[in-house]
Amino acid sequence: MNKIFTFSTLRIKGSHRSDRLSFSYTRLYLGSEQSVFAKSLRFVFKFNPKTNRMKFFIDTANLDDIREAYDLGILDGVTTNPSLMAKEGISGDANVKAHYKAICDIVDNNVSAEVISTDFAGMVAEGKELAKIDDKIVVKVPMIREGIKAIKHFTNEGIRTNCTLVFSAGQALLAAKAGASYVSPFIGRLDDIAFDGLDLIDQIVGIYENYGYGTEVLAASIRHTMHLIQCAEIGADVVTCPLKVITGLANHPLTDQGLAQFLADHAKVNG
């Protein structure tokens, strides 16, 4: 392309999601404009750049899937819920506890086990029992008023919590105020009712950054790889998703084509 002159602008671009503050660089060519977004600068100019690494949790109670994810070498934890336990046919107090123990024996840390009670006393009693199963257990508590009290109680007792069923920034703020270790906003279920789940993740990340809350944003109800990648762009601390979403990240047709070509070329000269 024949360049007649170059015109460069450097401007601050405030945008909605991951680019809270970023730069763009514009170069004018004859009859056309080429824009280059200096994405690498985004981290330099973020108000509170994250120092922790993004965690990958698997959202299942299926032991085979958990083992497979763990064997990939990138698994940081597991989240379960009563529906996922029921899906595996796990019932009865003793069996449920044994199943949580089996999960804890596979992974290195962070196994979210959800309470069934909905009153403060019941949640506290149940959560304490769950926490006794293994140090890896994080007690999962629903975002209801009694749940907020229970989370505060567990925080004071040094028991880690995951505040679940979060669908608004206000709920996430309450979870952080109560000292939850994790807050679980459900992206997919918001998308299902025509609200943008990723917008909520962005909003919560921004609010927590404003005040330096220690609660980690655990993006849940993730349905596909783009959800996961966009959570990474936004700066969610953790994602939890089915195994297929994690393994889906590895797929690319050009990788498959390229590998087939490499192997074919190798075979040509090596027999």
Interface positions with ligand G3P (CB under 6 A): 59, 79, 81, 184, 186, 188-189, 220-221, 240
Question: In whole angstroms, how close is the CB of 149 to ligand G3P at the nearest point?
Answer: 22
The amino acid at residue 37 is F
Q: Which is nearer to ligand G3P, 18 or 240 (CB)?
A: 240
CA 80 to chain centre: 14
Q: Which is nearer to ligand G3P, 220 or 246 (CB)?
A: 220
Candidates 144, 145, 150; CA nearest to 130 is 150
Helices 145-157 and 169-177: crossing angle in degrees, nearest 10, is 30
How far, CA to CA in Å, does 51 sit from each of 57, 110, 208, 235?
19, 19, 14, 11
d(CA 263, CA 266): 5
Based on the residue annotation, tell me whether 140 is a catalytic residue of this protein. Answer: yes
Q: Which two tokens stand for residue 142?
A: 């629903």
Question: In whole angstroms, how close is the CB of 215 to ligand G3P at the nearest point?
Answer: 16
Question: In whole angstroms, how close is the CB of 186 to ligand G3P at the nearest point?
Answer: 6
Question: In whole angstroms, how close is the CB of 67 to ligand G3P at the nearest point?
Answer: 19
- The phi and psi torsions of 85 (rounded to 5 degrees) equal -65, -40
Cβ proximity of 245 and 227 under 8 Å: yes
Q: Which is nearer to ligand G3P, 181 or 184 (CB)?
A: 184
Q: Which is nearer to ligand G3P, 79 or 181 (CB)?
A: 79
- Of the residues 101, 128, 140, 177, which is catalytic? 140
| Sign of the torsion angle spanned by Cα atoms 235, 240, 241, 247 | positive
Which residues participate in catalysis according to the annotation?
A: 140
